[in-house]
Structure 1
Amino acid sequence: MGASAAPDQVVINSADWQDVYLGSHYAGYNNIKSNFLISSEHAPVLLQTLDTSKVNILLVESDKAPFAFRYKNVLEGAGFTVDEIISSGTSLNIELAKRANTSDFIIVDDSYGYNAISVAPYAAREKFFVLFANKDNIEELYSFLKANGVGSIIIYGFSDIEVRNRLAEFNPTLIKNGSRFDNNIEILKRYKDIQQVFLTNGEFIEEGIMSGKEPILFPGRERVPNQVVEYIKSSGIKTGVVIGNELAGVAHQLKQATNMNVFLKFGQGFAEGGSSEVRALDMFPLPKYELALDINSVKYNRATRELEVIYENKGNMGVYLSSSIEVLSSGVRITTLGDKDSVYMDSGSTLAVAYTSELNEQNLTAKFTTMFGEIPGSFERVIYKDMKIEMIEVNDVSSLNISKVSYDKPAHKIKVGIRNIGEVKTYAKTQIRLVIYGEERIMVQDKAMLIEPGESKDAVFITTLSDTNIEENPDVTVHINYGERESVLIKVLEGSYPLIISFDYATASVVAVIVIIIGNTIRIQYRKKRIKVPKKSVEESAAETESKDISDDNSKDT
């Protein structure tokens, strides 16, 4: 691109949230205003909101998914001078980073929009430029960083191991303290003094958020996590400004818990033809991982003296839950049950949890207060639900044990050996907990497997463990939900077991056969390439000798 005047404002024309974020971030970094299209219909409306006194516009337009066709022509027709970047993704990221002319960077994964929002104000204020990195584009980013030079790098939140390994030579600071709330608090602690924060959960881009004027604090969706409350109490933050009206309820909770002053920013002023009006804030949605939990049924099993509760995770990510259950008889509370430790549920799954109690009364109801979130201790969501308790009487005499936990390196399989030591057929669903490069990973079977009496089966998890991973996991925590009823795996078998490194001889035999075949093929090809001179017959040799003698005689006569 040719040299041009420094922009007074930035306009982004893209349906890709990363392009919108990067253009807005570049504006915040340079302390100028940004504007972005949110639809094709928004194009003429946006034109009316631009500051006509600031004529130099940097237009960031997607080369793949622009909302408006040739928006540069529209802007120039309105009297603006336009410098245009037609790009997207990593190419756009690098181009804007070059223009930022910095050697300080914050690395975030491109899957988690809330991480990018959390660091945006800090990056703009402290002159860090944000780079979206993953295992697919890290080599391209590494080449840029190597050529550009690096002063300071922060890797924020989740990142691929390939990213961390490639950037290790730059001695990055890692901010990964657990949940999005813990990481957000850690970045807030880097500010020297905070009096006011914007309250948002990182689910959308808004110009004020990206400006860098105020830090971002995540308050939670329906419940304020405990660590957020404690941080505000200790930080001296006096005021919170809620962006949008969806968090008004949780902001009220925050005010009650901390005495912080809370204000709501729900619109933007707009003047036209001598009159003014308030319009909704321009917000660009970010990808989010929806937490959605429900309670499907609650039954009291007289045979086992257990309250059986079926939970369903309807979201697209795993959750931890913790319930407090008031049991009432004809409206009068008789006991309170609950989870001593948080319970993990995989996405799209159901889970039966048993709570032991002696319940002999009639007309029983359960009053649930179930908190849940991404990790234990960061419960931002809550379910309040009253349900009638159904009475059943079902014995379950199933019994299992775990024989061993092994890892087959050639086959890339972790196997949990399970034996049915009972007298009835049993369904079992297994989950394992591993530590992978310092981070906990939970793997869960897709569905329960049936094990006949006296039979042994392996719960198999396909994964690749490096030598480092094997060293990190001398023992593996195994959790099995099992029972006679496939839909109600009410029993639990849990423990920590040594990880045995095994060798699958069947796989090894196949590999050995393949190696032998390849070896034989190479030898055959080698033999074909060798040049062999065939032995000559006596007649051929005699003819050659005679020819030579005649030639010699002729030479002498001459």
Structure 2
Amino acid sequence: MGRYSLFLGLLVFLCAFSSATQVVVNSLDYKDVASAAFYANVVGDDLYYVYPSTNLQDAVLQVGPKSLILIESETQPVHASYQSALQNNGATVTEKLVSSDSFSFNLELAERSGTDSFIIADPAYSYNLVVLFSYAKHSGSYVLFATKKNAGEVSNFISSQASGPVLVYGTVDQEVLDSLSSSGITHEQIENGDKYLDNNELVENFFANYDANKQIVFADGTFFEPSVTEGEFPIFLISNTIPTSTYDLIYSLVNSGEVSSSILVKPDYTSAAYDLMKRINENFEEKRFSVFVKMGQAASSKPGEVQPLSSYPLPAVVLDVGLSKIQYNTAKGEVEIILENKGSIATYVTSSLNVYSDGELIGSVGDSEAQLLARDETKGFSYPLNVENPGTLTGNLTTYFSSSKYNYEKALNAYVDMGVVSFVDDSSLEVLTATYSPDADAVSVKYSNSGEEPVYLRTSVLYSSDVSSSTVDDTEVRTLDPGQSTVVRVAGLLVTEDELPTIEMHVLTEYGGREGFLDNSMETPVEILEPEGIDPMLLLGLLLLVVVLIVVYFLMRKKGDKEEKTKAKKN
């Protein structure tokens, strides 16, 4: 009896540890993988994601004959036949979730997770997702992906949930912050203009609230791997050069006894990690801090064999700033530098320009601090410089640009002939009509250039009601020639029927005589149109058609009954 009881107890124990659902992800879109990982960590499920480099057989053997929830990209699966291969190997797919759009799917899993605690991040900063796994898991938070394109949708989603804590992590589009504020969503933000400073503040918050079992993880932010996505331990970003602020924080954690060991995922930065360990241990009589390097993993198809560590690569963050032009504006006595952000993220720029007239240096201008150039933005920067009787002007430009406000990563160097302009912004723009159609969920704004010069413009829609509020932007900068009119349509406001009675809506238009200098703005109220509903004449016509069909039906039925009776009498 004792042995039987022991067996039952062991069985219950094993079942308790195998009750978690297995979530399997088959997608080449890293945002799908990240969403699934954040979801699994919130609900306590196990996660496996197919590495892009893994062949179909190994991807199937890694899962085995289990019951699972399968998440697949509709257009970018790693293996198109993965589901059937899993089932042929004995796996049971209890549910299949398909991602047709990674941002919408992110919100779908957020709702499914059931949490009311959220972290907002821009997934273009892929290294930010890497460091968020641990904090999100321990705080029971789900990470929402937000950019200027879906800011209103994210705010509306948060507003529809119970009011839990909201943290904005890292750099996000200004439209995201505006949407949160206009929706009345209280939030905290970690944004120091530098990924390492943001990372350190997040880790400090972690140790202030949670226990890490004296262990941390080092990763460079360019890949996912289970040591990262499982979120058991706080993660520090690592590179060949470890910032002083990161060293100071780790030393403090070791000195206080909160950290004694670390795992470096992949051996790329072994020298930097070992150097950090050595520097920290020099402060103590005995070794207090250790680094273990995770280099390999067990082979799924060959038991006992160790193979190189598999990882899921993340797209590189692209930094690319181009020079549009440099010119001297005699009307304002200013040098104008126009830069274009061609990269994948918002970029900090710091420019220094030497100005020459007929080969002689006549002045130097530049930035005293870094300026933010938004993603896809073309922007002009003006610098006062008094130039009397300008000859042939040339400029020697150096623009440093980086993802960090404090460190330089790349530089743009250019020696160019400077144009000379005499430009005063006399641009003129009128809003002829601004209406909102509830049926189309769209604002239509008709503009007219009433001036004598071309005008450039950009449109935003701001609205608020008793239910919610938000900002939706048309990010395209448009141009209108003198006397020309155009209609700008901003759709996808996601206004509900309940909001219509109390909604107030305005159009904010930024405009100017040059694309990079939209220095003027105006705000215009929007007329809310009545929902069209169904045309009464159309409804009457449909009713008459139904009546006619009913009458025809009964007449045909009556005729059929008579024919049946006639046949019966003849027989």
TM-score range, shorter chain: 0.5 to 0.7
Aligned CA distance change for structure 1 residues 231 and 331 (closer, same or farther; 3 Å): farther
Higher alpha-carbon Rg: 1
| Equivalent residue runs for 1:75-224 within 5 Å | 87-89=96-98, 112=123, 114=126, 117-125=130-138, 128=140, 160-167=154-161, 170-176=162-168, 179=171, 182=190, 188=203, 189-190=205-206, 191-192=209-210, 197-198=216-217, 204-216=223-235
- Say which of 311, 317, 328 aligns to 1:283: 311
Residues in 2 aligned to 1:523 and 1:27: alpha-carbon distance in whole angstroms: 53
Q: Where does residue 462 of structure 1 map in the other structure?
A: 490
Partner SS, residue 369 of structure 1: strand
Aligned CA distance change for structure 1 residues 529 and 332 (closer, same or farther; 3 Å): closer
1:501 aligns with 2:510: no
Deviations 1:417-465 (A, max 9, x none): 6541xxx5324233548477666654333432212xxx47567352448
Residues in 1 aligned to 2:528 and 2:138: alpha-carbon distance in whole angstroms: 55
Q: CA deviation at 1:174?
A: 2.4
Aligned CA distance change for structure 1 residues 326 and 87 (closer, same or farther; 3 Å): same
**8 Å Cα contact 2:263/2:291 also seen in 1:** yes
Q: CA deviation at 1:75?
A: 7.1
Aligned CA distance change for structure 1 residues 40 and 297 (closer, same or farther; 3 Å): closer
1:15 aligns with 2:27: yes
Name structure 1 gaps, 5 residues minimum: 77-81, 135-156, 484-488, 532-558
Partner SS, residue 481 of structure 2: strand
| Equivalent residue runs for 1:290-301 within 5 Å | 291-301=318-328
**8 Å Cα contact 1:8/1:57 also seen in 2:** no
Q: Which moved more, 1:113-122 or 1:381-390?
A: 113-122
- Say which of 412, 415, 418 aligns to 1:388: 415
Aligned CA distance change for structure 1 residues 179 and 394 (closer, same or farther; 3 Å): closer
Deviations 1:113-151 (A, max 9, x none): 85765543245446x4859899xxxxxxxxxxxxxxxxx
Residues in 1 aligned to 2:447 and 2:121: alpha-carbon distance in whole angstroms: 34
Q: CA deviation at 1:482?
A: 1.7
- Say which of 430, 438, 444 aligns to 1:413: 444
Q: Where does residue 340 of structure 2 map in the other structure?
A: 312
Q: CA deviation at 1:390?
A: 1.1
Residues in 1 aligned to 2:156 and 2:505: alpha-carbon distance in whole angstroms: 23
1:370 aligns with 2:389: no
Aligned CA distance change for structure 1 residues 447 and 434 (closer, same or farther; 3 Å): same
Identity, in percent, stands at 12
Q: CA deviation at 1:242?
A: 6.3
- Say which of 443, 455, 480 aligns to 1:449: 480
Q: CA deviation at 1:385?
A: 1.6
Q: Which amino acid aligns with 1:88?
A: L
- Say which of 446, 453, 456 aligns to 1:425: 453
Aligned CA distance change for structure 1 residues 438 and 324 (closer, same or farther; 3 Å): farther
Q: CA deviation at 1:383?
A: 3.6
**8 Å Cα contact 2:329/2:336 also seen in 1:** no
1:519 aligns with 2:536: yes
Name structure 2 gaps, 5 residues minimum: 1-11, 100-104, 173-188, 192-197, 284-288, 549-571
- Say which of 51, 56, 71 aligns to 1:38: 51
TM-score (norm 1): 0.57
TM-score (norm 2): 0.56
Task: Give the aligned CA root-mean-square deviation in angstroms.
Answer: 6.3
Deviations 1:288-334 (A, max 9, x none): 8x5543223443437455433332232466x3654332427689895
